[in-house]
Amino acid sequence: MRELARLFYINWVLLRHGLDEVVLATHLFRPVRFLKYLSPFYWRRRGREVPFGLRLRRALEDLGPIFVKFGQILSTRLDLLPPDVADELVKLQDRVPPFPGEQAQAVIEQALGQPVGEIFAEFDPNPLASASIAQVHTARLKSGEEVVIKVLRPGIGKVIQQDVRLLYTLARMAERYWSDGKRLRPVEVVHEMEKTLLDELDLSREAANATQLRRNFLDSDMLYVPEVYWDYVRENVLVMERIYGIPVGQVDELKRRGISMKLLGERGVEIFFTQVFRDNFFHADMHPGNIFVEADGGHRYISVDFGIMGTLTTEDQRYLAENLLAFFNRDYRRVAELHVQSEWIPKGTRVEEFEAAIRTVSEPIFEKPLSEISFGYFLLRLFQTARRFDMEIQPQLVLLQKTLLNIEGLGRQLYPELDLWTTAKPFMERWIKTQVGPRAFARRVREGLPEASEQLPEIPGLVYRVLRDATDGRLQLQWQSRQLDALRDELRAANRRTVRALSGGSLLLAGIGLNALGAGLPPWLGGWGAALAGGIGLLLLVRSLWSR
């Protein structure tokens, strides 16, 4: 009953924001499309039409935190959205009122098993920040360290499960009845969102992410990651070091303190590529609200909120690096070949045609400052071009695309003249050199020595057994293949059909012969024998033909 009421409320909000065109555009409601002219919302907005992207963003904000989060995730799918809609969804922010501090205190005490006064020397019941999944309070440990406490919203898990079920229902309806449903793959989008939300519901997972990222940049002068206090970490409570810094969006304050915007912009790009290619572990939620700059006049970033992290496989990492470097060198032939080799596009694709299409998209972006180009728009154009060649969007690259967009926005704020390509190219060239050549070979040999040393003593025995079996004529080659097994099964089935056909034909002929000679044979052999042999023979013939 509650889900039904929620569904009615969702539809009411969609209608109120003029999104009846989406519902009535489906094949299911096409016969009653005239009903929109009876809607008071239609006549209220008549003559002052609001862009679709703006209406969608406002509707998601009114529907609450889960739908806001859905819109944020959807905004990363540039391959699915028109540019104007994507630009609006990027503006979505969590505008969620905090829940009472007493309720947060009760959650903390239940999770840690002690009263707040026994754990912390100080605890502020007024939240420092509030978001869709959790809110943050400040405190001081008994040992004196200043900390922040992140607390999950009570009952948020059930709310998420309920809304995700509704989103799946809406997505399946859209896929079935909306003309663009299959192309936009809404069920796949909801599935990606569900995985992201489930990860964010486990604060112990976020703590582990923060610890790993801190270890990766422990001695770095580019990025600082706060310390996690593991004694006070639970699934719904996370205690971390409190940091003080200037929000990266406060450009005027950064300039007033004498911080170089150029250096800060370049370091942001280098941090991103270091996380992706050196560590294969990158912060995938790097919007300005999660990034600060040290307030002492240095140029070191401080990062918070580690609920969404990304990784790549070794193969994707290598292909991505080579693709980016080929883009930087304007080697579009190599880009096209890499897409075919990685099977991102079908193997039968003509490389020359794909190369020409990529060149058309890429050439306009080079030798321009970041302020004059949109990397998000470039990605969109590239996806649209690749779709013409049946390219499948790689799910493992979705978070990477989102992070690249965040880097673009950050660079525009800090140093509009920053050239993302020129800054990244030297880094990519250095990384490629570490992956190929004599040094890379020596490194791989060194890394493989422990495993090889374990297997080396067994090699003489294996060689002796192979030579002995070959000398005695007992060496056999075993070849297993799904295709070979299927062929073997088909041959066996064909043999069975042939045996049935021959047996059935023989028995049928025998029945005919017995019937012809019936006058000179005993009754039990002439009449009944002929009928039985003929019937069995006919049955075998029919079975052999039916099983083909």
Let me know: does 218 contact 257? Beta carbons within 8 Å: no
Distance, in Å, from the CA atom of 436 to the CA atom of 425, rounded to the nearest integer, reads 17
Let me know: does 506 contact 537? Beta carbons within 8 Å: yes
Identified catalytic residue from 79, 87, 163, 285: 285
Would you call 224 helix, strand, or coil by DSSP?
A: strand
Alpha helix (H) residue ranges in 249-297: 251-256, 261-273
Closest by Cα among 196, 230, 229 to 77? 196
Distance, in Å, from the CA atom of 378 to the CA atom of 384, rounded to the nearest integer, reads 10
Distance, in Å, from the CA atom of 286 to the CA atom of 402, rounded to the nearest integer, reads 9
Closest by Cα among 38, 42, 34 to 15? 42
Let me know: does 281 contact 210? Beta carbons within 8 Å: no
Beta bridge partners of 294: 245
For the chain, the C-alpha Rg in angstroms (whole number) is 34
Please list, residue by residue across 313-345, b when 16 or more beta carbons sit within 10 angstroms of its beta carbon and e when fewer do.
eeebbbbbbbbbbbbbeebbbbbbbbbbebebb
Beta bridge partners of 293: 246, 301
Distance, in Å, from the CA atom of 502 to the CA atom of 161, rounded to the nearest integer, reads 62
Closest by Cα among 82, 83, 86 to 71? 86
Distance, in Å, from the CA atom of 54 to the CA atom of 91, rounded to the nearest integer, reads 10
Query: Is residue 285 annotated as a catalytic residue, yes or no?
Result: yes
Closest by Cα among 75, 122, 128, 82 to 101? 128
Active site residues: 285
